[in-house]
Amino acid sequence: MKFNWTIFTVALIFSFVVGALSHGMFYLGQLHLSPQMFDWLWSLIGVGSFIISPLLLFTSFYLMGRNIDLASDFLPVVLPLFLGSWAGQLIGGLGILWYISLSLGWEYAPSTLLSTLLRVLWAGFTIAFSFEFFVGFTALATAYIVKKR
């Protein structure tokens, strides 16, 4: 089995950006912004997340999928897609959590840190498996079907 590093890298980058944006949205309330600034940033992040994923994500994987024979390379394509999606969500979520913790001066007890880490691990798994993975897989499958037609 040949691991498809291109699929992994693209999934990792998109999931990292989306993971950082989505986790960052929930911490905006901790920054003590004015209501207008909060609403403006929330809307900007929401629109940015939608443009990045699913629109750019689908387009990128569709273009890559035109050169992939999904029937013969199913596992070498699907496994890197999932692992890249999960790792990107994990790195993005933990990175933004670490940055916000440092910028706000939060200090964690070991039990709280472990609980937060487990929550981010699980959230990264569920989000990656439910969104970036399926958008990417749908784009790859669509490209394969169009190519075979």
**Number of domains composing the chain:** 1
Nearest of 18, 10, 27 to residue 49 by alpha carbon: 18
pLDDT, residue 106, reads: 67
Helix (H) or strand (E) holding 103: helix 74-104
pLDDT, residue 32, reads: 73
Nearest of 109, 125, 121, 87 to residue 5 by alpha carbon: 87
pLDDT digit string (tens) for the chain, length 149 residues: 799 999 999 999 998 888 788 777 767 766 777 888 888 888 888 888 888 878 999 999 999 999 999 999 999 999 999 999 988 888 887 788 777 777 767 666 566 777 777 877 787 777 777 788 999 999 999 999 999 98
Q: Is the whole-model pTM more than 0.85?
A: no
Give the domain extent around 97. 5-148
pLDDT, residue 101, reads: 73
Give the burial string for 114-139 (b: 16+ CB within 10 Å, else e).
eebeeebeebbeebbeebbbebbbbb
